[in-house]
Structure 1
């Protein structure tokens, strides 16, 4: 039976300062459970309680498991503080019964609209830091995956391929962020079936993704303009992707994600409606 989870970012809860309105955890988790989702990711640092007892109590009150958590940290610099933060988050994830730590190679700048170029030495540090974080996470019973993500140092197709060549860390296959960065997620899954360690399912509008890729539109503005849509409404071949990873033996979670900003006229009802549509589409595929 397929394991399907949600994520707070679909409800507009993001680690970027000033991203938008933030709904209370009880509201977000209750809506996830009302859709029949079995689990959630952790969300931004300290959105859900860091205290183990409080975290377990909150998740238990909504009958949800914890899949893992997204950790965007500078992997190419400030290594000591990065390792300390990874250890802190890994301990929280372990306490919540999670399985996976989802890393992203943050630039060190706020948001995902600027991306300084790395030197070869900084890239080598990035790869080494990933390996060190994997060891820390393994000590907490967690797997570690690297999430190619817009506005990070592993975004474009050449960077994804370079990471696959230089590191043996599995990837979080995020269908939306990969496509925005210029990587066909279905082709990636076909060529590297053994490197898929976690799956974030989202759909995007290809014409807006192209504008982000070409520098015509910032990522923040693209989200405002509706780059993300429910599964089946965009240009990701979700059916082919799901079939490929399952044929390759993937038995992990499918996390429904749709990067959302609330406020400025956005409807607080949208996350529930969009996630319901994505869930219905995925249900037909499965």
Structure 2
């Protein structure tokens, strides 16, 4: 068994059907997961998410015996300008994701920080404000569903792709209660510093994703990149972080057959630092 604070995202085994991925995670010795609900990245949650799909996923999770820390989802480009029909569709999808989050007993739904593009749709200021407004609205809906709303506020491939833009978004979200998910790989890939990120956002960090990276490449196994996990985890401890961590090993440097062993090795290393 690994420390209770260290979980494993189902995205780490996205090539397996959900029940098999959950068995793999449990057999490795983890006690909790993050549940991937990202169509095109991880199909463990159906793209067409209705009540029956929520019940199926919740039943699979319950049968596994694993706890769920968060559901990692997406409701589309939060800086996009939507018409009324598109807005209704987003709201319905968000409500189903929140229903799923509650059904699996997760603490929070995680949403991204804008479109998969560094270039704003209108201006950077307008787009960041739009993302913040969408997250604030989602946070209110989450509270009504009995869960929290977190945002991976620095994502190398999305609008808020570096520390400066993550700070802009955080400023817009001041006082809203939206938590920050810190991801070592996205910070390092963007040229940022996990220690500085931990110190800057210390009072907002609700969850931490662990994967290695080099500049421009987030898809590396822990130990194969430039992330200084020891210093970053120490900075989180100094900042008073008491939350959980999740190995999100959506790596490209191992085969599917090697993934369980790579996850076990990563968990052993991170456990030695906690």
Q: TM-score, normalised by structure 2?
A: 0.83
Partner residue, 1:156: 162
Q: Deviation digits for residues 169-197 of structure 1, max 9, x if unmatched?
A: 33100010111122212111122210211
In structure 1, stretches of 5+ residues that fail to align are 14-21, 213-221
CA contact (8 A) 1:74 1:106 kept: yes
Partner residue, 2:5: 3
Which region of structure 1 is more displaced relative to structure 2, 272-281 or 163-172? 163-172
Q: TM-score, normalised by structure 1?
A: 0.80
In structure 2, stretches of 5+ residues that fail to align are none
Q: Deviation digits for residues 52-109 of structure 1, max 9, x if unmatched?
A: 54333312322211111112331122344333322210110101100011110342xx
Shift of 1:248: 2.7
Question: For 2:199, which of 184, 190, 193 is the aligned residue?
Answer: 190
Matches within 5 A, 1:124-135: 124-135=129-140
CA distance in 2, matches of 1:229, 1:261: 8
CA distance in 2, matches of 1:285, 1:68: 23
CA distance in 1, matches of 2:224, 2:252: 19
Shift of 1:272: 0.8
Partner residue, 1:82: 90
Matches within 5 A, 1:114-263: 114-118=117-121, 119=123, 120-147=125-152, 148-168=154-174, 169-204=178-213, 206=214, 209=215, 212=216, 222=217, 227-230=219-222, 232-260=223-251
CA distance in 1, matches of 2:55, 2:101: 12
Shift of 1:154: 1.1
Provide the aligned length of Structure 1 versus Structure 2. 251
Change (3 A) 1:82 1:154: farther
Which structure has more relative contact order (CA 8 Å, sep 6+)? It is 1
CA contact (8 A) 1:39 1:66 kept: yes
Q: Deviation digits for residues 117-175 of structure 1, max 9, x if unmatched?
A: 24133332111111001111111222212112122111122211211222123310001
Shift of 1:44: 2.4
Instruction: Tell me how large the CA RMSD over aligned residues is.
Output: 2.2
CA contact (8 A) 2:10 2:21 kept: yes
